[in-house]
């Protein structure tokens, strides 16, 4: 085995070992699966950072292990915070059409277009205002994050029009969050147009899924 392969294997083993340490076989396991995911993500990032920071093979091995341990601790903290934030947000949202996805290193709040905007419009519907207020309150309770508000469309119509519409919709949601007390510096409105579908644009059901605004909450600690 070459030196680089040995070091890579060491990182992999470190990450797996740390993940196993936070994977108890109990009914509480599911309650903390995103915390554990954050731990594993942090361990992997820390191991890789340590791997490339040494001047010798031995130093890189040592740094990889140290980096994995430090990264795992930080990742566990982030994962635990996201678990709590997602639970509180889910409790306060009044619309079960708004979904929350916890990936372990971020939260993604998805607003379907049909409850957020009228067709071909960037004017927010009245019914979504209370949900955005709940999101804004949640973001103020958890200030250590940046927030990307990303507009998406289906592929119907001209691509340039769809891109512009997605930007306008992202900015509309961004403005409501800002006016509800979330500091502007934490917010970034982004339009992706039709470029990032989550379903097929060949069916009406798929198009409906693609027409959405995602509020992506990214911890900064």
Chain center to CA of 57: 35
pLDDT digits (tens, 9 = 90+) for 151-169: 999 999 999 999 999 999 9
- Rounded CA-CA distance 24/51 in Å is 28
The domain spans of the chain are 37-92, 97-220
Q: Where are the beta strands (DSSP E) in the chain?
A: 99-102, 107-112, 145-152, 187-191, 212-219
Q: What pLDDT, on the 0 to 100 scale, is given for residue 54? A: 59
In the predicted structure, residue 118 carries a pLDDT above the cut 80: yes
Overall CATH class of domain 97-220 = alpha beta
Q: Coil, strand or helix: which one is 117?
A: strand
For the stretch 64-109, pLDDT in tens is 565 544 544 444 568 899 999 999 999 999 889 999 999 999 999 9
> Which 8-state DSSP code applies to residue 190?
E
Does residue 12 surpass a pLDDT of 80? no
Give the per-residue pLDDT at 94.
83
pTM of the model: 0.70
Report percent pLDDT > 90 for the chain: 62
CA atoms within 13 A on the CB side of 47: 22
pLDDT score, position 74: 45
pLDDT of residue 31 exceeding 50: no
Question: What average pLDDT does the chain have?
Answer: 81
pLDDT in tens, 165-195: 999 999 999 999 999 999 999 999 999 999 9
């Amino acid at each position: 085995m070459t030196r680089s392969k040995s070091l890579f294997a060491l990182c992999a083993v470190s990450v797996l070992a740390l993940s196993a340490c936070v994977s108890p076989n109990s009914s509480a396991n599911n309650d903390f699966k995103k915390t554990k995911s954050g731990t594993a993500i942090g361990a992997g990032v820390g191991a890789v950072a340590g791997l490339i920071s040494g001047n010798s093979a031995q130093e890189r091995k040592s740094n990889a292990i140290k980096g994995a341990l430090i990264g795992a601790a930080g990742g566990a903290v982030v994962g635990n915070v996201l678990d709590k934030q997602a639970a509180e947000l889910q409790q306060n949202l009044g619309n079960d059409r708004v979904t929350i996805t916890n990936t372990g290193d971020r939260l993604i709040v998805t607003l379907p277009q049909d409850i957020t905007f009228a067709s071909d419009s960037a004017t927010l519907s009245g019914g979504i205002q209370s949900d955005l207020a709940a999101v804004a309150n949640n973001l103020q309770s958890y200030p250590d994050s940046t927030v990307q508000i990303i507009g998406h469309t289906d592929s119907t119509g001209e691509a340039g029009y769809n891109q512009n519409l997605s930007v306008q919709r992202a900015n509309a949601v961004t403005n409501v969050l800002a006016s509800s007390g979330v500091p502007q510096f934490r917010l970034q409105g982004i339009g992706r147009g039709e470029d990032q579908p989550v379903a097929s644009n060949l069916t009406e059901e798929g198009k409906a899924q693609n027409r959405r605004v995602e509020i992506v909450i990214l911890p900064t600690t």
